[in-house]
Amino acid sequence: MQPTPPPALAPQPRWVPADAVRVAGVLSVLVALTFDAVAVALMLLVLGGLVVPRVLRVPGPLDVAYGAGLLVAAWSGILDVYEAIAWWDLVVHLVVTGLVAAVAYLAVVRLGAALHPRDATTRGQRAGVVLLTVGLGLALGVQWEISEWLGHTYLDESIYVSEADTIGDLVADGLGSVLAGVVLVRRGAASSASATSERPSRSPARSPGTARSNRNP
């Protein structure tokens, strides 16, 4: 089966529900000014990330969940929630990295370098969607852990870094990315099945001879 080419982008609506999350991102930057430079830098990074789904035109529910996840993750760090609740860090890594991996996969699809989940019809193609999603999630997770180490080493020693924390975070990143890949495949299959069922059925054309024989039994 030939993959469906990336669809032409329709005119973008002026307002989508996830834009409320982006407004919250702008307000978060302003509030972060009352904390410190690290908080401001983190919120500016998050604000940049919030724009990505808007550019890619990802599905609305994913856009909202992704943006909300980024804000929760950032504010959890600024407000020391990770220190107050020991298991919260792993939960955030699992959920947010899964959402980020899903958006990253759809970005690769938009570039034309990967199969859209709705076009993954064979077991191998579906496995490929999951594997690429996991690879993207882990790669971004490693990048985040490196940024934490750089921040701890060169900016602020209060940024927590440890071998156990890094390994645990990456395991959660991987699990979240696996879940994201599975969800992409399942939703893609559902979308494909829905599109197939909505296609109008065409009755086979009859030959002239058949038509004459029906008129003259």
Q: Is residue 160 located within the same domain as residue 114?
A: yes
Residue 59 contacts residue 139 (beta carbons within 8 Å): no
For the stretch 54-73, pLDDT in tens is 999 999 999 999 999 999 99
Q: Where does the pLDDT of residue 211 fall: very low under 50, low under 70, confident under 90, or very high at 90 and above?
A: very low
Closest CA to 74 of 42, 44, 104, 48: 42
Q: Is residue 107 located within the same domain as residue 187?
A: yes
| Residue 195 confidence (pLDDT) | 65
69 in any annotated domain: yes
Q: Is residue 22 located within the same domain as residue 41?
A: yes
Q: Is residue 72 located within the same domain as residue 45?
A: yes
For the stretch 109-141, pLDDT in tens is 999 999 999 999 999 999 999 999 999 999 999
Q: Is residue 58 located within the same domain as residue 149?
A: no
Closest CA to 96 of 54, 67, 118: 67
Query: Helices (DSSP H) in 3-122: which residue ranges?
Result: 19-32, 37-56, 60-78, 81-84, 88-110
48 in any annotated domain: yes
Percent of the chain with pLDDT over 90: 73
215 in any annotated domain: no
Q: Average of pLDDT values for 87-92?
A: 97
Q: Is residue 177 located within the same domain as residue 120?
A: yes
Q: What's the CA gap between 62 and 106, in Å, rounded?
A: 11
- pTM for the full model? 0.84
216 in any annotated domain: no
When divided into structural domains, the chain yields a total of: 2
Q: Is residue 49 located within the same domain as residue 149?
A: no
Q: Average of pLDDT values for 43-56?
A: 96
Helix axes 60-78, 19-32, angle to 10 degrees: 10
212 in any annotated domain: no
Indicate the DSSP class of residue 159. Answer: S
Encoded tokens for 5: 């080419």
Instruction: Domain of residue 105: give its range.
Output: 85-195
Residue 131 contacts residue 181 (beta carbons within 8 Å): yes
For the stretch 137-174, pLDDT in tens is 999 999 999 999 998 898 888 888 999 999 999 999 99
Helix (H, G, I), strand (E, B) or coil at 58: coil
C-alpha separations of 146 from 37, 86, 142, 166, 170 in Å: 19, 21, 6, 9, 12
